Structure 1
Amino acid sequence: MQWQPSLAGAGALIGFLNELPVFFVHIQQLKEVFAQDVFMLLQQS
């Protein structure tokens, strides 16, 4: 009985770790787009 939560937690953790690189790539892309937007706004004003 005690093993079930541990296995589920381990599976979830592994899945989470697999998703992290994708998450970081999205963050980088968002930062680049945001920086470009701010740059455009600064140039216009």
Structure 2
Amino acid sequence: MTYTGTIHANTIRFKERLPFQEGLYVEVNITPAFPQKASPQA
């Protein structure tokens, strides 16, 4: 499964709602993507 989001401090804010229950332990692999036009990095 691939979900996209933005990192804010130590939190990842996903564009869509994730189909997992609150508090579920997960493993996340981070792959940087090209900055979006509205992002501060653009």
Q: With a CA cutoff of 8 Å and minimum separation of 6, indicate the structure with the bigger relative contact order.
A: 2
Higher normalized helix content (fraction of residues):
1
Larger radius of gyration: 1
Structure 1 and Structure 2 fold alike (TM over 0.5):
no
Higher normalized strand content (fraction of residues):
2
Q: TM-score range by the shorter chain?
A: under 0.3
